[in-house]
A = this chain, B = another copy of it.
Amino acid sequence: MNVPSTNDAENNLIKLGIELPQAPSPFGAYIAAVQTGHLLFLSGMLATAGHKPTVVGIVGKDLDVEAGRKAAYTAALNALSLSQKQLGSLNRVRRVVRLGVSIAATPEFVEHARVADSASELLRAVLGEDTMSTRLVIGVASLPFGSPIALEVILEVT
């Protein structure tokens, strides 16, 4: 197993001019994150701001690929914000072990990878090339509150 170099995520946020939103709080009888050993599991991150969806709809019907990408970016910002809150600093992220991307999509939709890349690219830009994740992308029937995106995130942390 490679020992990844310490990342410089907090500086990257400043360089990129990214201001993280408030970390999302749970919508039910669960908690935002659980750490077990060196693994930090996040709850599903939606395209939400302040407990409200920023966009609703099915990609391939109500929303096009660009709108899906924007929703994935919003959900990834939420994942970064929550990770920062849990860890104190994003510099403590060693690896994104798993990024799961559920896209509310039609049966005919085939451009899932382009939508998911929007989240992957943000995480790579902020956390650094050395933290790149495995990825699992599926098109689902529907998501909580009509969100077009739900992200699964498992991090390896120091």
Binding site for B on A (CB under 8 A): 1, 26-39, 41-44, 58, 60-61, 95-100, 102, 104-110, 112-114, 116-117, 120-121, 124, 132-146, 150, 152, 154, 156
Contacts and interface: CB of A to CB of B under 8 A. Distances in A.
Contacts of A99: 30
Contact of A112 (B132, B136, B143): B143
Given A120-B30, A133-B30, A134-B30, A142 B97 contact: no
A104 B43 CA distance: 20
Given A31-B133, A121-B29, A143 B138 contact: yes
Contacts of A98: 34, 41
Contact of A139 (B31, B60, B142): B142
Contact of A106 (B26, B34, B142): B142
Contact of A117 (B29, B104, B107): B29
A137 B142 CA distance: 10
A138 B112 contact: no
A15 B143 CA distance: 35
A150 B132 contact: no
A43 B141 contact: no
Contacts of A36: 1, 38-39, 95, 97, 156
A142 B109 contact: yes
Given A26-B135, A29-B124, A113-B145, 8 more contacts: A1-B36, A28-B114, A29-B132, A34-B98, A110-B145, A113-B144, A137-B144, A139-B140
